[in-house]
Amino acid sequence: DAGITQSPRHKVTETGTPVTLRCHQTENHRYMYWYRQDPGHGLRLIHYSYGVKDTDKGEVSDGYSVSRSKTEDFLLTLESATSSQTSVYFCAISVLAGQETQYFGPGTRLLVL
């Protein structure tokens, strides 16, 4: 998994509660990404980061926020979880500048009841 860990790996929460997912990398890669994966859809980009405190929205960013205060950590927060946010969330990193290949973490399975 290219030195990427995600926590928690599984979470069950209730509608309306805040949830934070953590992505941690050990190799100081500049670019980090959060995706969600749902049946019938390809991976969809939520947010990405191109450096500490530098983030931008992806195609499905509504209801999500991110923070990156250290190179190694990229946090995804659901401010008030909804059932439509039940999904599998993947973190990814880009290895080298100009090398667009992304490597993925093991995923977090989130169930919002």
To which residue do tokens 């209730």 refer?
14
Return the structure tokens found at 113.
């009841």
26: contact with other proteins by CB under 8 A: no
Q: Is 40 in the site for other proteins (CB under 8 A)?
A: yes
Measured in residues, the chain has a length of: 113
> Can residue 105 be called a binding residue for other proteins (CB under 8 A)?
yes
- Assess 101 for contact with other proteins (CB under 8 A): yes
| Least distance to other proteins, CB of residue 111, Å | 11
Q: Which residues contact 45 (CB under 8 A, 6 or more apart)?
A: 33, 34, 35, 58, 59, 60
Task: Provide the minimum distance between the beta carbon of 79 and other proteins in the complex, in angstroms, as a whole number.
Answer: 23
